[in-house]
Amino acid sequence: MSLSQALHLVLYEGNGAQPLPGNARVGAVSALLERGYALSCSTSDVSLIPDGHTVVMVLGQFGNGSLPPVQQPGVTIRFHDITGLDGSQIAAHVEAFRTETSSPKHGDWKPWFPVIDYDRCTNCMQCLSFCLFGVYGADANQRIQVQNHDNCKTNCPACSRVCPEAAIMFPKYKAGPINGDVVSDADLQREKMKIDISALLGGDVYQMLRERSERAKSRFSKERDSEKALKERQKCLVKLAQAGDIPPEVLMALPSPEEIQRRAEEARAKAQAALARQ
């Protein structure tokens, strides 16, 4: 989804509009931000329509005053008088205009995704190789990049823990340096920073899951006890979750061991190909 068509709001308090009382301004701005909108608070009609936006709604207490003389080819602009409206009422009018102009809706997706610190990244491709969900890829210059933000599993910081350089941030994570805080020497020295999940489980995690799958199959054939096998897998995943601060729901949503193996091999191949082309 591109936001180039996203509705942009301007809270205008310049010539032709009455300034809002302080509390009303706070209420209006807060209500719009909480609903996912971005807005410019402006007193000048010179920059009323910011570059790059094609749908703009100008909110102000226009009353009987004259509207700012703003027109721009290719831009849909709507002036809306907000005199006497509270934040929720203003937001309802904005929402109606958004629907009318088919502008994208905000807030359907929690923006959780990795952000790469290229000052630290050594392009080792471990993240690409590790991620089973196709979040990472390589650009035309074979440099690692985040390509599919939406594929990332909310609240899962696992790839940042396999990065040997602490170069992967999740700005909404609770603690540093994953949240973007400065990386300290202690962080780098701490083995926790680069959790080798495979080591935690005594070997390759995918291999381990494969082995467990084989054992489970064996049990199925002997006991036909699928519940027991599921419990076994859950036990393994809980261990992973604790070690890497990975939300259990993410681990529980992992596909079958066979599918994990297929995806892991695919990711590894992508990483190796990118490295080979460097």
User: What is the contact surface with other proteins in residues (CB under 8 A)?
Assistant: 1-4, 6, 8, 19, 22, 25-26, 29-30, 32-44, 50-53, 106-107, 109-113, 115-120, 145-146, 149-150, 169, 171-174, 176, 179-186, 188
CA-based nearest residue to 239, from 189, 199, 268, 179: 199
Closer to other proteins by Cβ: residue 15 or 256: 15
CB of 249 to other proteins, least distance (A): 17
CA-based nearest residue to 96, from 110, 74, 78: 78
Closer to other proteins by Cβ: residue 26 or 199: 26
Closer to other proteins by Cβ: residue 4 or 256: 4
To the nearest 10 degrees (0 to 180), the angle between helices 87-100 and 22-34 is 40
CB 274 within 8 A of CB 128: yes
CA-based nearest residue to 163, from 189, 111, 124, 190: 124
CB of 270 to other proteins, least distance (A): 19
CB of 120 to other proteins, least distance (A): 5
Closer to other proteins by Cβ: residue 181 or 225: 181
CB of 141 to other proteins, least distance (A): 14
Region of residue 40 (phi > 0: left; psi between -120 and 50: alpha; otherwise: beta): beta
Closer to other proteins by Cβ: residue 112 or 133: 112
Give the Cβ contact number of residue 62 at 10 Å: 19
Closer to other proteins by Cβ: residue 37 or 79: 37
CB of 38 to other proteins, least distance (A): 4
CB 6 within 8 A of CB 53: yes
CB of 161 to other proteins, least distance (A): 17
Name the token pair of 191. Answer: 């083995």
Give the Cβ contact number of residue 183 at 10 Å: 19
